[in-house]
Amino acid sequence: MSLSAGDLFDLVRTGAAGSRSDLRRLSGLSRTAVTARVAALADAGLVVLGEDQPSTGGRPATGVMLNAHAGVVLAAAVGRSRTQVAVFDLAGRELAAASLDHAQGTGPEEVLPPAVRRLAELGAEVSATRVLAVGVSLPGTVDPARGVSIDSPVMGGWDEVALAPYFAEVEAFAEAPLFVGNDADVLARSERMGHAQDHSDLLVVKASTGLGLGIIAEGRVVSGHRGAAGEIGHTKVDDAAGLPCRCGDTGCLETLAGGWALVARLAEAGGAGRPLGHVRDLVALALAGDAEAKHLLRESGRRLGDVLAVAINLLNPEAVVIGGDMAAAFDVYAAGVRERVYARSSALATSGLQVLPATFGDRAGVVGCAAMALDQVLRPSAIDARLGRR
C-alpha cells in the first residue's frame, strides 16, 4: 500500500528520515510521489526544507525537517493537590510552564478554570499562534473516547464530568481537541522521549500519593481494556487484609505502600516534629536525613517490589522506571524495590534488568500529557485529514 503524506511526515517527525532521499528509500515511493507529498506538507507549514544534507555526488539531498513552530499543544497534569500546566512546541520542547496548588479533594469547577486561565497566559507569553491540541491527565481510570474520568478514588467529584467545555471557554482553545489520559499512562508516554529511546519494553511506576503502573511494550504504551491497565496500587495483598483503602475496598497495596498511608503513619508517630500534608513533605524529611521517613520510603519500595515482581515475570521488561513524588528520594525508594524484585522475580526476568529514575523527574506528568496530545494530533491519519481540509 502506498504511503501517504501523513506517513512521510511521521518518518520525519520520529527522526527516521531527514531528506527526500531518505523518504524515497524508506517508503519505496518514486521521486515524483515523494516530492508531491513533501510539497503538500511544506505548504501546510508542517515541514521546512533546506539544502543541508551532504551530497555523495550529483544533485544535493534536500533536507526535510519538522517545523516545530507550526503550532503548540497544551498540557495539564491534574493531581490531588497540585496541577502542572505547560505549553509545548511540536517537537515536544517545553516553552512555558506553571504550577497551581489547590486543596485536596477539590472538584473540577475550582481546579480547571484557573488552570485554563494560566495556560492562556502562558500561551500569550510565548506568542503561541495556534493551539493544535490539549492533553490532560487525571489519577484513576479514564474514558479517552469521551474525555472523562470514570473511576478516580482520590479525585472526588470528577467522575463523568466533561472536561472539554472548560477549555472551550477560551477562544484560542475552542477548536483544539482534548485528549484525556490516566496519570500512570502519561508518565509512561513521557518515557517515549526518554528511556524508551534505548529500551523498548519498560514498566513505569508512579509512586506518589497513590501507586500506578504504566506499561511500554515494544515501544507502545499499553492501556488495556477500558484503560484500566496498571492499577497496581489496588492489588490485594495478604498483609493489608482488612485495612480500608481510599478506593472504598480493603486490603489494597496502597494501604501499606501508598504515599497517603505513609504520611498517615508518620503523623501518628509524631510527624518527626514537622507538619505533614503530603507525601512530598515526607520525602523532604527523608532527603534531610530523617531515619523514620527513610525507613517508610524503603519499606514502601519493598512492598511495591513484592507485587511488581509478578509483573516483571509476566512482561519481562528491560527496565523499571520510577517516577512520582517518592522518586525524588530515588536511592532510598529504589533500594527497597530492588531488594524484593530480585528476591521474588525469576533469574531470567531480572537478568540485565535496570531500575532507573524517571527521565523528566517531577515534570514527567506534564511532559507525558504533551506527548499524548502530540501523538494524537500528529499521527499520520490526522495529518492526512488536515491536508485534505486544506
Domain of residue 377, CATH code = 3.30.420.40
Co-location of 62 and 95 in the same domain = no
Co-location of 76 and 59 in the same domain = no
- DSSP 3-state percent helix, strand, coil across the chain (nearest 5): 45, 20, 35
Could you give the number of structural domains in the chain?
Answer: 3
pLDDT band (50, 70, 90) for residue 230 = confident
Q: Look at residues 22, 47, 66 and tell me which one is the last residue of a structural domain.
A: 66
The pLDDT mean for the chain works out to 91
Q: Look at residues 44, 66, 88 and tell me which one is the last residue of a structural domain.
A: 66
Judge whether residue 268 has pLDDT over 90: no
pTM of the model: 0.89
Report pLDDT for 232.
94
Co-location of 211 and 117 in the same domain = no
Co-location of 157 and 235 in the same domain = no
Residue 68: all three cell numbers together: 516545530
Range of the domain at 265: 195-358
Kindly report the CATH number assigned to the domain that includes residue 44. 1.10.10.10
Residue 92: all three cell numbers together: 515536544
Amino acid at 19: S
Co-location of 218 and 330 in the same domain = yes
Judge whether residue 272 has pLDDT over 60: no
Co-location of 345 and 223 in the same domain = yes
Quote the DSSP letter at residue 133.
E
Co-location of 219 and 341 in the same domain = yes
Judge whether residue 57 has pLDDT over 80: no
Identify which of 147-161, 261-275, 280-294 has the greatest average pLDDT.
280-294
Q: Look at residues 20, 36, 66 and tell me which one is the last residue of a structural domain.
A: 66
6 Cβ neighbours under 8 A, 6+ residues apart: 379, 380, 381, 382, 383, 384, 387
Co-location of 62 and 126 in the same domain = no
| 3-state secondary structure labels for all residues of 65-100 | EECCCCCEEEEEEECCCEEEEEEEECCCCEEEEEEE
CA distances from 378 to 48, 73, 145, 273, 362 (A): 16, 11, 17, 51, 26
Co-location of 244 and 343 in the same domain = yes
Co-location of 240 and 375 in the same domain = no
Cell 517527525 belongs to 13
Residue 179: all three cell numbers together: 485528549
Are the C-beta atoms of residues 305 and 326 closer than 8 Å to each other? no
Co-location of 38 and 171 in the same domain = no
What does the alpha-carbon distance between residue 45 and residue 82 come to, in Å, rounded to a whole number?
36
The torsion defined by the Cα of 46, 50, 56 and 59, in degrees rounded to 10, comes to 100
Quote the DSSP letter at residue 209.
S
Report pLDDT for 53.
47
Co-location of 341 and 384 in the same domain = no
